């Protein structure tokens, strides 16, 4: 039991010894001050330490006023110098000040995270709006056949022995494009300009490699 009590006293003594300088300058919390005061009552060694601390404090205090006057003169003399140095500095960018007003925590080393997160969320929201508003954008593919939007208006059937080169020549010559096919029966659906459908059909019918050439919709009088 005695050993425990001695240990506690030693710990308390060490703790108080560490705190003494700030006890003397009265910059401890009141709970710490009370602890030190209580310990000083019965600790001769700590009272000796406190005496040294008081000597240091008294010395510092007595030199302070004298030094202050010298240093005040120094500050008065050097203010113009530092003012000139500030004049020579490049002025702070205006946008940074505006940003600072908009986001008060901007520039604070420990408070920058909320600002960054806010900006990040704003960017994500803007990107979301952008994606939604551009959702209907049409994608154009350059495929072998005509685009999906082109409507077939002629159906043709080539002879079996017709080569691909021959087919390509006939189609290019008449400005026709394959829209679909071949179907199970070997037919191809072609798309040509409505204006030229009549002459194109006439030309295609003259091709020996074509077994059948028929318009898909009934042609009006103009076409005929």
Partner 1 sequence: MIEERNAEIKGARLPKREKEGANWHETTLIKRIAENEDRDAFKILYLMYCPRLVQFLRKLSRNVPLIEDVANETMLIVWQKAGSFNHTSKVSTWIFSIAYRQCLEAIRKAEEPVEMNLEDSLAPPEWEPEFGANCSQLKKQIENALYTLSVEQRSVIALTYYHGMSYEEIALTMNCPANTVKTRMFHARKKLKVLLSAYQKGES
Instruction: Note the residues at the interface with partner 1 (CB under 8 A).
Output: 17-19, 21-22, 25, 27-28, 49, 52-53, 55-57, 59-72, 74-76, 78-79, 81-83, 85-86, 89, 91-92, 97, 100-101, 107-111
64 versus 173: smaller Cβ distance to partner 1: 64
Question: What is the enclosing helix (H) or strand (E) of 125?
Answer: helix 112-133
- Buried/exposed code over 46-80 (b: 16+ C-beta within 10 A; e: otherwise): beebbeebeeeeeeeeeeeeeeeeeeeeeeeeeee
Residue 45 Cβ vs partner 1, minimum distance, rounded to whole Å: 12
CB 63 → partner 1: shortest distance, Å?
6
Q: Which is nearer to partner 1, 69 or 137 (CB)?
A: 69
Q: Among 125, 122, 129, which residue's Cα sits nearest to residue 102?
A: 122
Q: Which is nearer to partner 1, 28 or 179 (CB)?
A: 28
Distance in Å, CB of 110 to partner 1, minimum: 5
CA distance 117 to 205: 70
Residue 81 or 161: the one with the smaller Cβ distance to partner 1 is 81
CA within 13 Å, CB half, 79 = 5
């Amino acid at each position: 039991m005695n050993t425990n009590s001695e240990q506690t006293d030693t710990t308390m003594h060490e703790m108080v010894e560490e705190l003494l300088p700030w006890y003397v300058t009265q910059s401890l919390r009141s709970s710490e001050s009370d602890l030190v005061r209580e310990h000083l009552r019965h600790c001769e060694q700590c009272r000796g330490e406190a005496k040294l601390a008081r000597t240091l404090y008294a010395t510092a205090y007595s030199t302070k006023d004298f030094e202050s006057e010298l240093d005040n003169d120094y500050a008065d003399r050097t203010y113009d110098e530092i003012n000139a140095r500030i004049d020579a500095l490049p002025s702070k960018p205006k946008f940074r000040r505006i940003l600072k007003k908009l986001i008060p925590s901007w520039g604070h080393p420990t408070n920058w995270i909320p600002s960054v997160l806010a900006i990040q969320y704003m960017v994500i929201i803007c990107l979301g709006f952008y994606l939604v508003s551009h959702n209907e954008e049409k994608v154009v593919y350059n495929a072998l056949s005509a685009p999906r939007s082109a409507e077939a208006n002629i159906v043709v059937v080539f002879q079996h022995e017709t080569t691909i080169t021959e087919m390509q020549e006939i189609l290019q010559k008449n400005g026709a494009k394959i829209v679909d096919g071949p179907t199970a029966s070997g037919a191809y659906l072609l798309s040509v300009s409505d204006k030229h459908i009549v002459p194109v059909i006439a030309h295609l019918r003259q091709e020996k490699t074509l077994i059948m050439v028929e318009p898909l919709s009934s042609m009006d009088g103009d076409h005929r």
